Amino acid sequence: MSTRSSYEILDEVGRPVALLPPSFRWGGGAVAVVGAGIFLALAARGSVVLGTFVGGTATMVGLAGAAFSREPVEDELTRKLRLESAYWALMVAVSMLVGANTIAFFVDGQADVYTGTGGMCAVLAFYLVRFHSALRSLRTDGPEA
């Protein structure tokens, strides 16, 4: 009798890969949309700090749930797409941070901009878009020989 969960995936060596169940994709997306709505509602009332904390945190948690959920068919090619998408998301994050600091330096004369909540949401969103667009194009075009 096996004690492994049906959601557990093993890598080449037999170690479990830590991904959430596929149902977290839709739940995480819903939490992200609700978090964005909370942010917009609180920011419209003048509570930008509270909106950033509550709405931004909910959006980041929702996007992370969607980003780290397992695909129904998780194979080596899917893992390669995840790695490439994470690489591109990291490049976008560094570019955004350098760009924001450069703009802040030329506008305000200081280059210590903290772009935590917005930057993290943008990185997770870019990862999701890049991963799912690559996965969709792979499924529609088929693997290239």
Confidence of residue 7 (pLDDT cuts 50, 70, 90): very low
Reported as a single tens digit per residue, the pLDDT across 80-121 is 888 899 899 989 888 888 888 888 788 877 766 666 777 888
Which residues of 19-124 form beta strands (DSSP E)?
none
Q: Give yes or no for residue 141 having a pLDDT over 70.
A: yes
Angle between helices 24-44 and 48-67 (to 10 degrees): 170
Confidence of residue 24 (pLDDT cuts 50, 70, 90): confident
Tell me the torsion sign for CA atoms 33, 21, 61, 128. negative
pTM, to two decimals: 0.71
Confidence of residue 6 (pLDDT cuts 50, 70, 90): very low
